[in-house]
Amino acid sequence: MTQSVRIPADRVGVLIGKNGSTKARIEKQTGVKISIDSEEGEVEIDHTHAKDPSLSLSVANVVIAIGRGFSPQKALRLLEEDYFLEVFDIRDYVGKKKEHVMRMRARVIGTHGKTRALIEELTGAYMSVYGNTVAVIGDSLQIDVARRAVDMLLSGSEHAAVYHFLEGRRAQLKIDGMGF
């Protein structure tokens, strides 16, 4: 079985890694074979010799996450059992006008990166704003809270309301994270 994923051409180098290290690590860890067209950003994932079928299917999410601006270290968390990727297309909220997309990107990032950093800190999830997308990596609980916060921001909620929501959910995340 072969799967095809497209990533931005400027992220291909990150997927390959220094001297092919990232690509080799993914292939060694999962048993898949990755072929990359660096001009087009087209990535072919061959699952034929995969060590674990469910793990090999996560490789596409790792590739997509790297394409959405995550570091390979953060993207490789998706190979762990309970980690997920959620990608929001800002254009789904504001349309295709470049000014509107830029304004929403700025809202999600916040002044000096404050909003993005707060979402990451209070949820434990990783977040990347790249191109027309906002992407989040986390476990099911983290991603649920981060998804809601990003949706609130993209839907026009005030930052204070989003911060209040995150603070309220922080205690729940800590309790659930400890297994109580």
pLDDT per position as a tens digit, 106-128: 999 999 999 999 999 999 999 99
Q: Report the alpha-carbon distance of residue 138 to residue 126 in Å, rounded.
A: 6
pTM of the complete model = 0.90
The candidate with the shortest Cα–Cα distance to 137, out of 122, 121, 120, is 120
Decide: 119 and 88 in contact? Cβ < 8 Å: no
pLDDT of residue 179: 42
| Full set of structural domains in the chain with CATH | 2-79 (3.30.1370.10), 83-178 (3.30.1370.10)
83, burial (CB in 10 Å: exposed 0-12, middle 13-18, buried 19+): buried
Sign of CA dihedral 170, 176, 178, 180: positive
Residue stretches of the chain with pLDDT short of 70: 175-180
| DSSP character at residue 138 | E
The candidate with the shortest Cα–Cα distance to 130, out of 83, 70, 60, is 70
Q: In which residue are the tokens 């309790």 written?
A: 175
Q: Report the alpha-carbon distance of residue 17 to residue 127 in Å, rounded.
A: 21
pLDDT of residue 176: 65
pLDDT of residue 180: 34
